[in-house]
Amino acid sequence: MFDIRTYTTETIPLDSLPQWSPWPARLLGMTDWTTQKRDIQKVDKEYDKEEYLRCLNFVQERKGATPEDVRTFEFRLPRKPLCVSQKNELFVLPAEHLLAVDNAMLAQILGPFMADVHTVVELGCGYGYNLWELRRQFPDKRFVGGEYSANAVRLAGLLYATHPNITVESFNYYDDAYSLLERCPADGKTLVFTRHSIEQLPSAKKFLTSLSQYFDRIAAVVHMEVAYENYGNGLLDLLRKRYVVANDYNRDLVGLLQNHPDIAVLRNEADVYGVSPLNPSSVIAWKPRSA
């Protein structure tokens, strides 16, 4: 089980959170903040035209840059220590541990599903760093990423040009069909996962409708996502709820999965790790009932 205490034991009291993040003051109306509308135009601006364009320019200017170089650049490392969360506790994480923690969580969450699959698909993969990290540990698998940002897809093409078992292609959660899954064999040997990309969908209903066409291909699906429905009524969870609403992040993934007649939920665990304590990753794993 992933445990942040492997990397840090220094805790932070909840009433010190405003010293680490501007968000408590924003959420309480103490500083100006405009509530967001999370639509395709917002995602396009925030990621394609800003974050991934910045990373693409970095690689084009720095010949030979590796995926690890891009990740370090993306995370703006080095930086000051961060306030992170696990199980509603807050911890100080030295910046030099950020990538190691991020990679360890990914491997420990997905590792148990790897033995029986041939293909690993990440939806909303950015430039595919998670796939690259998994490929390093499981080189015998095929890794496929789907991403809306054209600049991220272009960046992935540069980074993985000499690695034929990892590809990233154009993908839109709102499409009626997902072509990258249509090309996966109907043998139930595909693992699908998402990592803070479903959060960009105010509702996951369309996603599940489109994905259900490919249940015969899928061994399991794992989400490392914001899970509004997992939050309780303590102060930290109330701040998290308000944060989700203010940013128009997803608020129905857990309920849709639990109530879907063709889905068996295997795991639903809140706040496994939060590199942002107000937007932690819950882990929700499920499989089609026919799998």
Position 69 scores a pLDDT of: 96
Say if residue 282's pLDDT is above 80: yes
Say if residue 228's pLDDT is above 80: yes
Say if residue 37's pLDDT is above 90: no
Average pLDDT over the chain reads 95
Mean pLDDT score, 153-159: 97
Say if residue 221's pLDDT is above 90: yes
Q: What is the pLDDT confidence band of residue 269, given thresholds at 50, 70 and 90?
A: very high
- Place domain 4-288 in its CATH homologous superfamily: Vaccinia Virus protein VP39 (3.40.50.150)
Say if residue 18's pLDDT is above 80: yes
Query: Over the stretch 118-147, which tens digit does the pLDDT of each residue have?
Result: 999 999 999 999 999 999 999 999 999 999
Say if residue 1's pLDDT is above 80: no
Q: What is the pLDDT confidence band of residue 55, given thresholds at 50, 70 and 90?
A: very high
The domains of the chain are located at 4-288
Position 43 scores a pLDDT of: 83
Position 198 scores a pLDDT of: 97
Query: Over the stretch 164-219, which tens digit does the pLDDT of each residue have?
Result: 999 999 999 999 999 999 999 999 999 999 999 999 999 999 999 999 999 999 99
Position 13 scores a pLDDT of: 98
d(CA 59, CA 67): 9
Position 63 scores a pLDDT of: 86
Model confidence, pTM? 0.95
